[in-house]
Structure 1
Amino acid sequence: MTARRLVVVSAGLRVPSSTRLLADQLAEASAAELDRRGVPVETEPIELRDHGHDIVNHLLAGFPPASLKPALDTVAAADGLIVVTPIFNASYSGLFKAFFDLVGDDALVDRPVLIGATGGTARHSLALEHALRPMFSYLRAVVVPTSVFAAPEDWAGGSAQGTLRGRIDRAARELAAQIARREPTEAADPFRLTTSFDQLLTGD
């Protein structure tokens, strides 16, 4: 069976980062659930902090720097996505939004996505439903029902505890189910002709 590609996009700004910690735990739970279903998986993390300057340069110049293009291609070729952002001023971070502004319009169509976020207060959890979910729905992705938010009180001893652990496991099951029921994503061929030679010759 072809291994599925689970891409984990984290927009944490600091090291260490609770955003990255949540992303890693979501990825671990999702990979374990896929393994339980007999679906091999390869997990690929993307840390947006490492691409901050290139994201801005792409926005200004209109084309991706060489070091950023592999990250965009990885997202486009994913069989499933886990995306986690810190919440600032009741919405996703600018870095997170800027990166997904650069993803192709059709790149995430019918792609399973698990959304997560971290913030300094549980009140920010509403941003998952009024900011992240609408954005990925606009991109025509399939956002799993359970979103996962982690506030400072959800962490103890550096790991997810109690109800947070339950949300992580439930979201992982939902994502794994969506990935398992789909055929593996075919990577786009940049040299594939989208117009036939007959159309080119006739000008159609």
Structure 2
Amino acid sequence: MKITIITGGLREPSSTRLLADRLAAAVAKDVEAAGEPVELTFVELRPLAHPIMDAMLTGFSGEALEAAFEQVAGADGVIAVTPAFNASFSGLFKSFFDVLPEQTLADMPVLIAASGGTERHSLVLEHALRPMFSYLHAIVSPRPVYAATSDFGAGTDSALGSRITDAASDFSRLLRACGPRARHEPADDDLASMRRLLSET
């Protein structure tokens, strides 16, 4: 089972990456407990900021960005984690999905998560992330995770840990239900379209 973790943290160290690491570990543990080996790969968006902007301006993606696209396209599931800004996702996070080739996430199981300064931004999950991934035709896991700064403090980490465990359990069941994902190639659509045209003539 190949799982790609997309994390949009803008600082180092990053609470967004910390949340992504914990979610990835929990999902891997749950899937492996069911007898399925897991391969985790990470796509860090911070080093890709300039290639993403270049792709938005020119329509062409460089080698580093193409490699990230390949990692996402080759996954059986995606964990997507963004920092919250003004009750929405970060611009860098959104821009990556704006330049991601169309249909890459079609029928892809996705676990969404976000980190932010306060709990007030937690609605970013349902008001911004879930609609975007639904628009991209992904299969969004029902239980997302939001982590505020206070969730990483002493005495409150157990609550975050419980939310992560519950979300990982839901997502691992979704992954197993969907099974290994057939790789989608845009060229296949072009070939199918050409065959339809030829059959009509």
Identity, in percent, stands at 47
Whose helix fraction is larger, Structure 1's or Structure 2's? 2
Letter in structure 2 aligned against 1:102: V
Taking a change above 3 Å as real, the CA distance of residues 195 and 152 of structure 1, as seen in their structure-2 partners, is closer
Moved over 6 A (4+): 196-203
Q: Which residue does the alignment assign to 1:27?
A: 24
Query: What are the Cα deviations for residues 81-117 of structure 1, in whole angstroms up to 9, with x where unaligned?
Result: 1000001111000000000111233221221111110
In 1, Cα distance between equivalents of 2:136 and 2:150:
32
In 2, Cα distance between equivalents of 1:190 and 1:131:
27
Determine if the alignment matches structure 1 residue 134 to structure 2 residue 151: no
Taking a change above 3 Å as real, the CA distance of residues 91 and 203 of structure 1, as seen in their structure-2 partners, is same
Matches within 5 A, 1:10-159: 10-156=7-153
SS at match of 1:104: coil
Conserved in 2, the CA contact under 8 Å of 1:7 and 1:75? yes
Matched residues, number: 200
Q: What TM-score comes out, normalization by structure 2 length?
A: 0.91
Unaligned residue ranges in structure 1 (runs of 5+): none
Unaligned residue ranges in structure 2 (runs of 5+): none
Q: Which residue does the alignment assign to 1:167?
A: 163
C-alpha displacement of 1:80? 0.7
Letter in structure 2 aligned against 1:111: M
Stretch of structure 1 that moved more, 9-18 or 73-82: 73-82
Q: Which residue does the alignment assign to 1:8?
A: 5
**Over aligned residues, Cα RMSD in angstroms?**
2.3
In 2, Cα distance between equivalents of 1:78 and 1:22:
20
